[in-house]
């Protein structure tokens, strides 16, 4: 069958550091891929890791026009890759969670009459009232406190699935409502990064989906409606209108905007499906069974579990699930993921993963007792400021250790924290347990081996055609490095 007679589907991932696009066939085979790395491809926005540190303590923002410009750029890369857009039946995608986009009063009219002859970013240059606070922002501690005081911490968790968290959109909105009232008043609509991206494709402000909408401290995850008391604690009576009505994640929002029809040759009836949060879409793609844990290794590391119903966690988050098969999901987000690993790779081994992995191979499981905690950015789970701690086998604080011990201390420390917090959330490991890894760093076998050793569970990696065992557990025969006695089957 030629591509022309096939139905194809286009997906986007508006993540922290890059925008990725992928075209798949009806059989889920990957036909084309393209990406835009914000720091490298759009240096004019002066981002580092896709974000800009703001002037307030803990403030982390991104200019929405960066994402707008990246969309045309990634589309042009798909053109160069030979994509025939007329075969695309539907478009959808994911975005980094919690970040908010503040649309001006004339934005929706602009979205509705975009000319295919000009770039999106020139036409939408005045569509945003301010830069977007993103998930790495930790400047809203006072707002979290105020929200928990207004609702009650436990009640807030019962209603919204989370206690108040700095990066959650409700506290972020509260900060702008109180500190920048003119910005708040000039804003017609507030989108999440996901629904903002969907809006660009749909040519109108797209609704927030229920799954990503659960990361705001505003949604009642049982009734699936905005909670009046939470809205009041974060803004005024206009907030419900600014947010619009949330919809299930698989909702068709409308046909694709005429901009994409005219500029790239989409058929006018191509459907745009609501976008959702990156972790929500990862959970949907992982098809987790009970007892399995999803591990998304990206800028942040996140642990994902499917849940049958809502509950009120003391730490971590419960979200409405993205699919009927996963009605609810648990999420634990560790802010120090790939960027932190990369920083220490650069420090300990130059800029090469190969050299860093050599260091790991020079040490043994358990790291001779050296253990480290490396927070290059404020940590979310547990809540803690940036810092670095290391101990030797006797439990003494160690100011420094040889690079190979530091390398393993960093990764074993990360894996231990992921396991300990998952267990605190009720996750129990048994014979049927497995970890399904996804995200950029899931290509690193040494890292997967460490997760396998620490979780004492096989680790699988998600591919488009299913899960593949990548790394055996300590209690099973390892498929990694079979010549390496350190990785042979060991009963602990």
278 binds ligand XUL (CB under 6 A): yes
Interface mask toward ligand XUL for 114-143; x: CB under 6 A? ---------------------x--------
> Segment near ligand XUL (CB under 6 A), from 117-125, 275-283, 414-422, 460-468?
275-283
Q: Are 344 and 406 in contact (CB under 8 A)?
A: yes
Q: Are 68 and 121 in contact (CB under 8 A)?
A: yes
Q: Is 17 exposed, middle or buried (0-12, 13-18, 19+ CB in 10 A)?
A: buried
16 binds ligand XUL (CB under 6 A): yes
Cis amide bond preceding 382, omega within 30: yes
Q: Are 141 and 147 in contact (CB under 8 A)?
A: no
Interface mask toward ligand XUL for 47-86; x: CB under 6 A? ----------------------------------------
Number of residues that bind ligand XUL (CB under 6 A): 16
214 binds ligand XUL (CB under 6 A): no
What residues pair up with 276 in beta bridges, in sequence order? 94
Which of 170, 207, 285, 298: binder of ligand XUL (CB under 6 A)? 298
257 binds ligand XUL (CB under 6 A): no
Q: Strands, E, within 275-384: which ranges?
A: 276-277, 292-297, 301-307, 317-323, 326-334, 371-375
Q: Are 13 and 33 in contact (CB under 8 A)?
A: no
Closer CB to ligand XUL, residue 97 or residue 199? 97
Q: How far is the CB of 318 from ligand XUL (least distance, A)?
A: 12
CA–CA distances in Å: residue 303 to residues 263, 280, 312, 315: 39, 11, 17, 13
Continuous H helices in 217-330: 228-234, 239-243, 258-264, 278-286
Task: Say whether 420 sits in a helix, a strand or coil.
Answer: helix
Q: How far is the CB of 282 from ligand XUL (least distance, A)?
A: 9
371-375/18-25 β-pairing = unpaired
Which of 32, 69, 77, 98: binder of ligand XUL (CB under 6 A)? 98
Distance CA 83, CA 106 (A): 33
> Segment near ligand XUL (CB under 6 A), from 75-83, 101-109, 277-285, 363-371?
277-285
Which of 92, 96, 336, 404: binder of ligand XUL (CB under 6 A)? 96
Q: How far is the CB of 260 from ligand XUL (least distance, A)?
A: 26
333 binds ligand XUL (CB under 6 A): yes
321 binds ligand XUL (CB under 6 A): no
Task: Say whether 400 sits in a helix, a strand or coil.
Answer: coil
Torsion sign (Cα): 190, 196, 198, 202: positive
- Measured from the Cβ of residue 64, the count of other Cβ atoms closer than 10 Å reads 26
Distance CA 109, CA 336 (A): 40
Q: How far is the CB of 280 from ligand XUL (least distance, A)?
A: 9
Interface mask toward ligand XUL for 168-207; x: CB under 6 A? ----------------------------------------
Closer CB to ligand XUL, residue 124 or residue 330? 330
Which of 300, 363, 367, 452: binder of ligand XUL (CB under 6 A)? 300
- Footprint on this chain of ligand XUL (rule: CB under 6 A): 16, 96-98, 135, 167, 215, 277-279, 298-300, 302, 331, 333
């Amino acid at each position: 069958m030629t591509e022309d007679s096939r139905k194809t589907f286009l997906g986007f991932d508006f993540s922290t550091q890059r925008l990725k696009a992928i075209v798949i066939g009806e059989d889920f085979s990957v036909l084309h891929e393209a990406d835009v790395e914000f720091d490298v491809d759009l240096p004019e926005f002066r981002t580092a890791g896709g974000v800009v540190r703001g002037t307030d303590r803990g403030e982390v923002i991104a200019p929405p026009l960066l994402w707008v410009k990246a969309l045309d750029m990634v589309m042009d890369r798909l053109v160069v890759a030979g994509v025939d857009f007329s075969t695309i039946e539907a478009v959808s995608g994911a975005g980094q969670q919690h970040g908010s986009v503040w649309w001006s009063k004339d934005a929706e009219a602009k979205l509705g009459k975009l000319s295919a002859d000009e770039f999106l970013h020139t036409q939408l240059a005045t569509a945003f009232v301010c830069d977007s606070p993103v998930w790495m922002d930790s400047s809203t501690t006072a707002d979290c406190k105020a929200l928990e005081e207004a609702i009650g911490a436990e009640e807030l968790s019962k209603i919204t699935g989370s206690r108040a968290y700095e990066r959650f959109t409700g506290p972020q909105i509260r900060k702008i409502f109180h500190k920048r009232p003119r910005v708040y008043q000039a804003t017609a609509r507030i989108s999440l990064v996901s629904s903002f991206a969907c809006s660009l494709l749909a040519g109108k402000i797209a609704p927030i989906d229920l799954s990503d909408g659960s990361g705001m401290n505003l949604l009642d995850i049982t009734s699936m409606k905005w909670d009046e008391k939470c809205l009041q604690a974060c803004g005024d009576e206009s907030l419900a209108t600014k947010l619009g009505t949330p919809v299930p994640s698989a909702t068709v929002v409308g046909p694709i905007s005429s901009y994409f029809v005219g500029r790239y040759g989409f058929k006018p009836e191509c459907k745009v499906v609501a976008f959702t949060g990156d972790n929500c879409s990862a959970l949907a793609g992982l098809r987790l069974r009970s007892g399995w844990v999803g591990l998304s290794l990206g800028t942040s590391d996140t642990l994902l579990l499917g849940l049958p119903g809502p509950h009120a966690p003391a730490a971590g988050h419960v979200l409405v699930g993205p699919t009927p098969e996963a009605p609810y999901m648990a999420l634990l987000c560790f802010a120090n993921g790939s960027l932190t690993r990369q920083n220490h790779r650069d420090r300990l081994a130059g800029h090469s993963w190969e050299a860093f992995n050599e260091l790991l191979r020079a040490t043994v499981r358990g790291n001779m007792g050296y253990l480290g905690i490396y927070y290059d950015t404020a940590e979310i789970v547990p809540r803690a400021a940036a810092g670095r701690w290391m101990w030797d086998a006797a439990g003494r604080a160690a100011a420094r250790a040889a690079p190979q011990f530091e390398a393993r201390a960093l990764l074993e420390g990360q894996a231990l924290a992921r396991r300990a917090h998952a267990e605190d959330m009720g996750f129990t490991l048994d014979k049927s347990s497995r970890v399904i890894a996804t995200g950029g760093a899931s290509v690193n076998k040494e890292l997967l081996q460490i997760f396998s050793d620490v979780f004492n569970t096989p680790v699988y990696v998600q591919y488009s055609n299913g899960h593949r065992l990548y790394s055996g557990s300590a209690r099973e025969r390892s498929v990694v490095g079979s010549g390496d006695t350190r990785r042979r089957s060991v009963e602990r």
